[in-house]
Amino acid sequence: MTKELIYEDKNQTKWLLDNGLTQVTYRKTKDSEAITMTYASYWHPYELRHYMRDYASYSPISYVRLGQKIKSLGLCIKGNDESWDLRKLIPAIAKHISLNAKPFLADGDKRTVKQIYGTREVFLKRLRDSYERELTREVA
């Protein structure tokens, strides 16, 4: 497995692994033993956090692959505000998400996106509804 150095200082080292996950080693800890963690770095906007954070946690490789596809479409690019337009992003997520992904494994729910929503169209509607609810909360 190859990895690319992202960041290093006296306290930590961060690597980008070839599977897209991030690995960080914290050198100084309370017990003076190094701790290494591997995780999927978030690429999604805050407004979609309720759907995407669980997905990143429970299906990290699938989440990373979806993020890579979304970025290849010119969406979710840091420093480019137009690329974060949810009217473009939400349909792209629904179109490219793996229907076999298991996004919500909490409480023993091991269903796939297809088992939960049935079709991409239903998933798209749920994402849009979630975003609309979020906007309503922010205005209130």
Q: Which of 42-51, 54-63, 101-110 is the least confident region?
A: 101-110
Q: What is the pLDDT of residues 3-48, one digit of tens each?
A: 999 999 988 999 999 999 999 999 877 777 888 999 999 999 888 8
What CA–CA distances, in Å, run from 51 to 24, 59, 95, 119? 25, 12, 15, 16
The answer for residues whose C-beta is within 8 angstroms of residue 70's C-beta and 6 or more apart is: 43, 76, 89, 92, 93, 96
CA distance 4 to 127: 33
Q: If you count them, how many residues does the chain have?
A: 140
Residue 104 has pLDDT above 90, yes or no: no
**H or E element in which residue 95 lies:** helix 86-96
Model pTM score: 0.80
The pLDDT tens digits of the residues spanning 74-85 come to: 999 988 988 998
